[in-house]
Structure 1
């Protein structure tokens, strides 16, 4: 199955240890940039109470939800520590700073 990549902007559009949101037919996707310039994309809602993860604090390869301090792995989408739950991760491509997300992943997330 072929992956359709959708351009979402430039890495410099996202501050270090920050995020931006991309609206898709399947919902909002939060795209994060770590202090090491790695880029991750996950659904923009905490599995706990639906908090906006894009407004959370990025540390290492995780984000802390601004509502109840749940820590979510940007790599796996899973809640860390004693908390349980997860969000879907979306494949991201970084080509010399030009960022794209995988439409195939979004389609699968909608099923």
Structure 2
């Protein structure tokens, strides 16, 4: 597995996100109010909205286009909506963040 450096946790605002370009494409990295970090594809499964511009709450993000709520842990749409985005393994080493590029995982069915 190849770990790719994507910056530090301080680069991501609390309850916010930032886009990161990787050799496998653009991803969104989110930081929760509890300082947990998650990495997922940066497009909503509904209409492709930029999830990195959504509102982070608990371990979810709300898409800014049509209010779909996506789990940051699983990539699945929550509530009555159906669909999912890919999630990526993320490692936090004393504030330095690394994403596993060869481990793109589709959200569990």
Q: Deviations over 1:40-95 (max 9, x none)?
A: 00000000000000000000000000000000000000000000000000000000
User: Partner residue of 1:8?
Assistant: 6
Counterpart check, 1:80 vs 2:57: no
* Superposition map of 1:18-57 within 5 A: 18-57=16-55
1:28 is displaced (CA, Å) by: 1.3
- Aligned residue pairs, count: 106
In structure 1, which of residues 96, 99, 102 is the aligned counterpart of residue 94 of structure 2?
A: 96
CA RMSD of aligned residues (A): 1.2
Structure 2: state its 5+ residue gaps.
none
Contact 2:18 2:30 in 1 (8 A): yes
TM-score by length of 2: 0.93
State the distance in 2 between where 1:23 and 1:89 align.
15
Structure 1: state its 5+ residue gaps.
none
State the distance in 2 between where 1:9 and 1:23 align.
11
1:25 is displaced (CA, Å) by: 3.6
Name whichever structure is richer in helix by fraction: 1
